[in-house]
Structure 1
């Protein structure tokens, strides 16, 4: 005959297991609270982040420059961290800082190693920072370089960067009908001109 079970007896958890359980629950509660606060902040800041996304790239004819103050609540959103790592999505202050770092990389590594000669079939512009498309493409190229030249990318990382990122980016940037199509086509004759972009359709 089996012994009767005593349902009224409490379950006894060893003290060391109890401490681990309490610590785990405390951590989970704290993580849950942080996630709730982050979600609430993202929901509250969404309009200002959309406004900030419009600030950043240099546009011709009097548009806001990277050093211009951002609209909306950009300071608060930048303190919380950008919603995107892409340079065109940054507020004015973060854009200016990112552009300065990008410029160092372009001038110290990209151009000395991969610049090649300037020709009519391979134009370039010394004032590339004023071409929004060039800034966007070069920044994306730089982000990929940072990831794929890291040790964690493995031995094929640099090769992947050349094949999948560098070659396509340079083809787009330095094609005669690319963003530098009206700029320098001879190193002896520096020239800079922004090409007109299509006007948005009227509403």
Structure 2
């Protein structure tokens, strides 16, 4: 007996009925697409997987790029006056080599009253700090990543100012050697502490029961 169809209201769309053979074809196509998607997902997972490192005959020698362990990044440079003990002495030795082997032979102008020098410049902390900063800047600007103008920038922005400060007539070496025939070394005293610091120190010393910092009051 044919299925009865209820009448529809005016303006209502009649549902579309797809014959059964067409539904089977659509279902088969959907299953095929799902299988293809699963296969593609497996291929992508395989391509994204990190390949296992193959053993290298050079791995035992620790050679970088040949299967050995990666080389550690060099430590970040620190201002030399922040170093202590053996670290400071090693850095000062390296700085002295650069100053004596490169800086002075190339840029060391004649020693005069207008351009003094000191054979014991390592005893002047401010000179050590200036020359160490100049050395670090040189290492940075001679690197290929600094570009072709890297060393020009070093000459213009660092070398000129550093030497002008270190060898100024009234600079830190002005009481040292002003003639090659008269070597001399003298550390100039710096300015006293500020009035505010002196006042604070005096007030602390006058406080009853105050002892040394970190020590209990007697």
Answer yes or no: is 1:127 the counterpart of 2:120.
Answer: yes
* Equivalent-residue separation in structure 1 for 2:49 and 2:86 (angstroms): 43
* Alpha carbons 1:82, 1:90 under 8 Å: kept: no
The Cα shift of 1:82 comes to 6.4
The Cα shift of 1:190 comes to 0.2
* Alpha carbons 1:123, 1:174 under 8 Å: kept: yes
How many positions carry a matched residue from both structures?
Answer: 144
Tell me the residue number matched to 1:108. Answer: 101
Tell me the residue number matched to 1:152. Answer: 145
Are residues 181 and 124 of structure 1, via their aligned partners in 2, closer, same or farther at CA, if it must alter by over 3 Å?
same
* Equivalent-residue separation in structure 2 for 1:186 and 1:172 (angstroms): 18
Q: Equivalences for 1:9-24 in 2 at 5 Å?
A: 12=38, 13-14=41-42, 17-18=44-45
The Cα shift of 1:19 comes to 5.6
Tell me the residue number matched to 2:86. Answer: 93
Tell me the residue number matched to 2:133. Answer: 140
Tell me the residue number matched to 1:182. Answer: 175
* Alpha carbons 1:84, 1:90 under 8 Å: kept: no
Structure whose alpha-carbon radius of gyration is higher: 2
Q: Normalising to structure 1: TM-score of the pair?
A: 0.61
Tell me the residue number matched to 1:52. Answer: none
The Cα shift of 1:21 comes to 5.7
> Quick check: which one's helix share is greater?
1
Tell me the residue number matched to 1:191. Answer: 184
The Cα shift of 1:103 comes to 0.3
Are residues 164 and 20 of structure 1, via their aligned partners in 2, closer, same or farther at CA, if it must alter by over 3 Å?
farther
Q: Normalising to structure 2: TM-score of the pair?
A: 0.57
Structure 1 unaligned residues grouped into runs of 5+: 24-80
Answer yes or no: is 1:168 the counterpart of 2:195.
Answer: no
Most deviating of 186-195 and 84-93: 84-93
